[in-house]
Amino acid sequence: MSIHDDVEVVLLDTETVASRVRALGAELTADFGERDPVLVSVLKGSLVFLADLIRAMEMPVSIDLMEVSSYGAGTESSGQVRILKDLSGPIEGRHVVVVEDIIDTGLTLNYLLKYLADKGPASISIVCLLDKPARRLAEIPIGYTGFSIPDRFVVGYGLDYDERYRNLPYVGVLKPSVYGGAPPEG
């Protein structure tokens, strides 16, 4: 039994993701090369993307990690965000690049952008691997997007279902039998 057996469709295969991440790294290198940015990643889903993205950036960068969770039950963001792990260093005067795996309703990032802005960075930019515009509730100024995807529940390349499947090297959709019914929202 392999985790691959639970995948119904591969939406973005390994090489497609890798080549897009390399291109994003090159874009960020061109745009931030002399500016010593700090990449702020939001755990846990962004971990795989961050790891590949920084290796595609041929310039000095720092990283910092946050972990947040939405208040309330269910799989949908509520917009009320609790910070489980805060930044470990100051960002005042720094060029911040927020690294996200997926932007769905946008409510998590909407909160986080205000939180980070209050700390007085020189600028805040957003790079996200997957943009799911169909479900957006808060407008988010995404500077760099890997892929715009349809409104399907996706796993892999960092994204989970019930904490599993983050280690799939591609982005895919699970078989309905895995959920035992309708796929989760989000």
Q: Does 168 sit near ligand PRP (CB under 6 A)? A: no
Cα–Cα dist 47/41, whole Å: 7
Q: Which x/- pattern over 62-101 shows residues binding ligand PRP (rule: CB under 6 A)?
A: ---------------x----------------------xx
Footprint (CB under 6 A) of ligand PRP, residues 124-163? 160
Q: How far apart are the first and last CA of the chain?
A: 27
Backbone CA torsion sign across 134, 168, 53, 40: positive
Minimum gap (Å) between residue 99 Cβ and ligand PRP: 10
Cβ partners under 8 Å of residue 14, min gap 6: 169, 170
Please pick, from the candidates 107, 124, 127, 155, the single residue that binds ligand PRP as defined by CB under 6 A. Answer: 107
Residue closer to ligand PRP by CB (options 102, 173) is: 102
Q: Does 172 sit near ligand PRP (CB under 6 A)? A: no
- Residue 21 has phi, psi (to 5 degrees) of -65, -40
Q: How far, CA to CA in Å, does 43 sit from each of 9, 50, 65, 69, 85?
A: 25, 10, 7, 10, 9
Please pick, from the candidates 91, 96, 97, 103, the single residue that binds ligand PRP as defined by CB under 6 A. Answer: 103
Cα–Cα dist 134/147, whole Å: 13
Cα–Cα dist 171/165, whole Å: 10
Residue among 52, 101, 104, 131 flagged as catalytic: 104
Q: Which x/- pattern over 46-65 shows residues binding ligand PRP (rule: CB under 6 A)?
A: x-------------------
Residue in 58, 114, 59, 121 with CA at minimum distance from that of residue 89: 121
Residue closer to ligand PRP by CB (options 57, 109) is: 109
Q: Which residues bind ligand PRP (CB under 6 A)?
A: 42-46, 77, 100-109, 160
Catalytic residues: 104
